[in-house]
Amino acid sequence: MTRQRWLIIFFAIVLSASIAYPLRNMIYELVIIPLAYLWWLMGLIYHLVPQIVLWIVLVILTLFVAIKELLLQNPLQMKARETRRVPRSPVEDLSSLIQKQGRGIYYRWLIANRLGKVARELLAQREGQGISNRFTRLTGRDWNPPHEVDAYLESGLNGSFADYPRSYLSRRKATPLDPHPQRVVEYLESEMEIHRNGNH
C-alpha cells in the first residue's frame, strides 16, 4: 500500500474519532441502550417461554418453509428456471454480444475475439493443422482480408479491450474494433465458401 493511501486512512480514522467523541453520549442513548434493552427482553422471553413451545414453533416454521418450497412452487416458474439453465449455442451467444456492442469497448472486443477464433479455426482447417492457441498473427494460404477486417480480427484475437482505455476528457479515438461485425462475418463466410468449393 502506498504512503498516500496510508495517509488517507489515517486522516479518515482521526476524522471519525473526532466526530464520534463529542457524540458519544447521544450514541450511547440512541443506540447502545436500546440494543441492550432488546437483548435483555429477548433473554427474558426465552427464559419465560417453555422450551417445548419454542421447539414447536421452530418445527412449524420449518415445515411451512419446506411445504412452500417443495409443494406450492409455481410450475411455470420451475419451467422458466429449467429454460434458463439450458446453455446457449455459440451463435446465440454471439448474437447476444452483438446486441450489447453499443455498451462499450469490452463487448466490441469480445465479439472480435470470438470472430478471431473462428478465423483461426478456418485457417487451421485450410492448412490441415491443429488449432493453435498461441498469440500469433492470422496467416495462411490465400488469406488476404481487407485492412480493416484484418486489424479487427487481430485486435480481438491478439489484443485486449484494455488497449483502448476510455477517456472522459477528450473525444473518443477510432479503434480497430469500430467496424461493424457484419462486414467481418460476411468476409469469413466468403472464405468458408471458397474453402468448401476448393475441397470439392
Nearest CA to 94 out of 182, 3, 165 is that of: 182
Q: Whose grid coordinates read 439453465? A: 85
Q: What percentage of the chain reaches a pLDDT higher than 90?
A: 1
Number of domains observed in the structure of the chain: 3
Nearest CA to 112 out of 143, 139, 138 is that of: 138
Question: Regarding predicted confidence, which is higher, 167 or 46?
Answer: 46
| Residues 124 and 130 sit within 8 Å (Cβ to Cβ) | yes
Both 176 and 96 in one domain: the answer is yes
Q: Whose grid coordinates read 486522516? A: 11
Both 71 and 131 in one domain: the answer is no
Residue 91: the pLDDT is 55
Per-residue model confidence as pLDDT tens digits over 130-153 = 666 666 788 877 788 889 989 988
Both 77 and 98 in one domain: the answer is no
Helix and strand counts by DSSP (H, E) for the chain: 9, 0
Q: How many CB atoms lie within 10 A of CB 200?
A: 4
Both 42 and 118 in one domain: the answer is no
Question: Regarding predicted confidence, which is higher, 193 or 85?
Answer: 193
Domain that holds residue 161: 90-199
Q: How many CB atoms lie within 10 A of CB 115?
A: 21
Per-residue model confidence as pLDDT tens digits over 8-54 = 888 888 877 777 777 777 777 888 888 888 888 888 877 787 888 87
Q: What is this structure's pTM? A: 0.50
pLDDT of residue 75 exceeding 60: no
